[in-house]
Chains A and B, each alone.
Chain A
């Protein structure tokens, strides 16, 4: 790398020189048209005065003099060969990040430059995002497919504020997102009012309630240690987002070769996931093997493909049905034990990574929120057991921990890490007699599963030719065009009456990743793009059933998908409303015995209807729609899939039933 003639110059000297240079520019010699208003905002000026004639300003005598005269003797040139951000990137690279998503921001400009030039824009490669919420949600979706975090960068102030809801989603979903924010901590180094308004004493404070860890190092040595520590913390179950502050001065100031030699990048030593202790596991095994009707409830049980295999092994070993809370791909949907049990008949309920276990095992009347009647859904005497890493990470302010659960045994451990020892403990206890009983109930559950599947098909037939198109038909049409491919559904199914999981054959871990985490709307589109990016290198066909309200938060992520050639098929579930809220307001109107016909006000997304196909086209994406006739849906999906298989994203706008 060529070295600067002047070598390292610190920024105080640069600022002094810059001030002298500026003094030479500002003054009586400054000519017309050089003022900042014209120079800084030509687009805005043009937009406000479309009729105005465009005039190229002539340089004034001051500018001419500044550009043609020898530089003043005190004006230093600020160059350096080795900014601190290069070392920061060395540390970041040591952790194996493939991508860094960012909306550009001045507080991390040096790190940005190091990534694209010093790092060659490879590992990590910079992804251009138009909103920090998109950056974080992309990382959220990516991590659930790839099993490792994506890095994002943001301003310590306004960028993190934009990102905050998506961070909360990732936290509530216990997904690692690696956030690096820029900040100029020392006021003496800030150049302008913008740098003051973009500076903050404790940047991570605003998201500390819903991140797992953060640090603001003030030396490169500490930065290296904290960056590695943050990765280790983020990726140890219970996982979660972490925030690292990259101080602006540390990024921009040079590091001498001698100092660089002394700096050390610590080795990442991953912590093993916490597994349940042997005594508790042995006790649980005894209860499960002795149970007549054990039921397994799984929410985020399968962190990895191995987690899915383990749950199948445990369920088949005990012939215990699995109630899937659909927060990860926990269990094959056409397995005879999938959804064939029920709480009312269970004598043991084993919850695996279920954040809302109380809500699973109870119901409450909606009559009066102040004094809800609570009724357990389990029979009296049923044993409740939980294995959950949620117990190891709870904070007080944001209440995602849910209602307190009165479990008989609560194991604070990662379920996937605990399953091998639980399976072995069960195997040791199963006698031939118990095995015979298990086989008898297996036949019973297979019958139930078959009946449920038939009922689902019968239900799907109702309204088959309706317009708006039913979500059942939409799901069946989509299945028909993807069933022979290696596919991955990366959107939630809750807003489509769960039709995909009722009709499709889910077998692989990457075929479903759950949803938002905290129902922060705006997650869907960017998380799908991030998940599709992770799927790209495996050649999987990525599908996203996209809610219209969700897309409207930050639709610019469609452009990110096009720009980075991320193949993704988005099918709009366009019910033209914030439908969940519409139902809530209808509920309130009915309770108040007032006009229920007015609740579209503030909830409907109509008048005008949004044309999502045109929106996608504006971002450069192939699109079809709006489709209102169900007979046109299948051909439209086929056309869009051809585009996706060529490596590009596509969108099909489907005008759909509410749910």
Chain B
């Protein structure tokens, strides 16, 4: 039993400290993304909008994302560990990375039409 607990502790520590690795739970990340209202500014698909950048398929690594959430620039408020733990951010990061990439505008007829019309 002691051995099992020891292994679990190591796994947990690795998960928390392994910035740069997306080893979070994407499904849990989606739940947290919605629960903590990240979608207010970034949209439910992370597509971005007037008040927040696109974060679906973010180009940041986990460390970069965490740093930004803790010390954001612009109008985003800081989300400290009291609100979102590093573990939870890891799950959110996994969710953002799991979101599908957008199609090219030329492959979406309405956008292609806008892009090619005068």
A582 within 8 A of B: yes
CA distance A250 to B12 in the complex (A): 84
CA distance A389 to B35 in the complex (A): 47
CA distance A599 to B46 in the complex (A): 20
- A454 contacts which chain B residues (CB < 8 A)? 105, 115
CA distance A579 to B40 in the complex (A): 8
Given the interface pairs A463-B56, A590-B79, the reply to whether A582 lies near B111 with Cβ below 8 Å is: no
Shortest distance from the beta carbon of A51 to any chain B beta carbon, whole Å:
48
Inter-chain contact B43/A658, CB cutoff 8 Å: yes
The closest CB in chain A to the CB of B73 belongs to A365
A-B Cβ contacts below 8 A, count: 112
Other-chain residue from B47, B79, B111 in contact with A466 (beta carbon distance below 8 A): B47
Inter-chain contact A658/B40, CB cutoff 8 Å: yes
The closest CB in chain A to the CB of B51 belongs to A659
Interface residues of B in 31-79 (CB under 8 A from A): 35-37, 39-41, 43-51, 54, 56, 75, 77-79
B4 within 8 A of A: no
The closest CB in chain A to the CB of B54 belongs to A462
- B37 contacts which chain A residues (CB < 8 A)? 582, 586, 596-597, 599
Inter-chain contact B50/A458, CB cutoff 8 Å: no
CA distance A453 to B111 in the complex (A): 11
B114 within 8 A of A: yes
Given the interface pairs A464-B108, A597-B36, A658-B39, the reply to whether A459 lies near B48 with Cβ below 8 Å is: yes
A587 within 8 A of B: yes
| Chain B proximity mask over A464-485: 1 for CB below 8 Å, otherwise 0 | 1010101110001101100100
| Chain B proximity mask over A578-597: 1 for CB below 8 Å, otherwise 0 | 01001100110011011111
B82 within 8 A of A: yes
- A587 contacts which chain B residues (CB < 8 A)? 77
Inter-chain contact B113/A480, CB cutoff 8 Å: yes
Inter-chain contact A590/B105, CB cutoff 8 Å: no
A461 within 8 A of B: yes
A366 within 8 A of B: yes
Shortest distance from the beta carbon of A600 to any chain B beta carbon, whole Å:
8
- B45 contacts which chain A residues (CB < 8 A)? 462-463, 466, 470
A63 within 8 A of B: no
A127 within 8 A of B: no
- A458 contacts which chain B residues (CB < 8 A)? 102, 104-105
Shortest distance from the beta carbon of A469 to any chain B beta carbon, whole Å:
10
Inter-chain contact B105/A659, CB cutoff 8 Å: no
Shortest distance from the beta carbon of B69 to any chain A beta carbon, whole Å:
10
Interface residues of B in 84-118 (CB under 8 A from A): 102-105, 108, 110-111, 113-115, 117-118
Interface residues of A in 617-659 (CB under 8 A from B): 657-659
A457 within 8 A of B: yes
CA distance A593 to B84 in the complex (A): 10
Given the interface pairs A470-B43, A657-B43, the reply to whether A460 lies near B111 with Cβ below 8 Å is: yes
Which of under 10, 10 to 19, 20 to 34, or 35 or more describes the interface residues of B? Answer: 35 or more
Other-chain residue from B39, B80, B104, B114 in contact with A479 (beta carbon distance below 8 A): B114
Inter-chain contact B114/A461, CB cutoff 8 Å: no
Inter-chain contact A457/B105, CB cutoff 8 Å: yes
Given the interface pairs A457-B111, A593-B82, A658-B39, the reply to whether A470 lies near B47 with Cβ below 8 Å is: yes
Shortest distance from the beta carbon of B85 to any chain A beta carbon, whole Å:
13
A403 within 8 A of B: no
The closest CB in chain A to the CB of B112 belongs to A457
Inter-chain contact B102/A590, CB cutoff 8 Å: no
CA distance A657 to B113 in the complex (A): 23
Q: Which of A72-80, A274-282, A497-505 contacts B (4 or more CB under 8 A)?
A: A497-505
Inter-chain contact B111/A462, CB cutoff 8 Å: no
B83 within 8 A of A: yes
Given the interface pairs A462-B54, A466-B44, A590-B79, the reply to whether A476 lies near B114 with Cβ below 8 Å is: yes
Inter-chain contact B102/A461, CB cutoff 8 Å: yes
Inter-chain contact B111/A659, CB cutoff 8 Å: no
Given the interface pairs A457-B105, A659-B50, the reply to whether A477 lies near B110 with Cβ below 8 Å is: yes
- B77 contacts which chain A residues (CB < 8 A)? 586-587, 590-591
- A477 contacts which chain B residues (CB < 8 A)? 110
A494 within 8 A of B: yes
Given the interface pairs A468-B44, A579-B40, the reply to whether A497 lies near B50 with Cβ below 8 Å is: yes
CA distance A497 to B50 in the complex (A): 4
The closest CB in chain B to the CB of A587 belongs to B77
Shortest distance from the beta carbon of B106 to any chain A beta carbon, whole Å:
9
Inter-chain contact A586/B40, CB cutoff 8 Å: yes
CA distance A508 to B106 in the complex (A): 28
The closest CB in chain A to the CB of B77 belongs to A590
- B113 contacts which chain A residues (CB < 8 A)? 480
- B105 contacts which chain A residues (CB < 8 A)? 454, 457-458, 460-461
- B54 contacts which chain A residues (CB < 8 A)? 459, 462
- A503 contacts which chain B residues (CB < 8 A)? 114
Inter-chain contact B48/A462, CB cutoff 8 Å: yes
Shortest distance from the beta carbon of A207 to any chain B beta carbon, whole Å:
32
Inter-chain contact B82/A463, CB cutoff 8 Å: no
Other-chain residue from A466, A480, A582, A591 in contact with B43 (beta carbon distance below 8 A): A466
CA distance A593 to B110 in the complex (A): 43
CA distance A497 to B48 in the complex (A): 9
The closest CB in chain B to the CB of A598 belongs to B37
Inter-chain contact A590/B43, CB cutoff 8 Å: no
The closest CB in chain B to the CB of A503 belongs to B114
- A583 contacts which chain B residues (CB < 8 A)? 40-41, 51
Shortest distance from the beta carbon of A394 to any chain B beta carbon, whole Å:
29
Shortest distance from the beta carbon of B96 to any chain A beta carbon, whole Å:
12
CA distance A582 to B46 in the complex (A): 18
- B44 contacts which chain A residues (CB < 8 A)? 463, 466, 468, 657
Shortest distance from the beta carbon of A627 to any chain B beta carbon, whole Å:
16
CA distance A587 to B105 in the complex (A): 34
- A470 contacts which chain B residues (CB < 8 A)? 43, 45, 47
Other-chain residue from B35, B115, B118 in contact with A597 (beta carbon distance below 8 A): B35
Q: A483-B117, A494-B50 given; name 20 further pairs at CB < 8 Å.
A: A366-B75, A453-B115, A458-B105, A461-B102, A461-B104, A461-B105, A461-B108, A462-B47, A476-B114, A495-B50, A497-B49, A497-B50, A582-B40, A583-B41, A583-B51, A590-B79, A590-B83, A593-B80, A658-B49, A659-B41
List residues of chain B with CB under 8 Å of any chain A CB.
Answer: 35-37, 39-41, 43-51, 54, 56, 75, 77-80, 82-83, 102-105, 108, 110-111, 113-115, 117-118
Closest 7 CB pairs of A and B: A463-B47, A590-B77, A463-B45, A462-B47, A659-B49, A461-B102, A457-B105
What are 9 of the A-B contact pairs (CB < 8 Å)? Answer: A464-B108, A471-B49, A472-B47, A480-B113, A582-B37, A583-B40, A591-B77, A599-B37, A657-B49
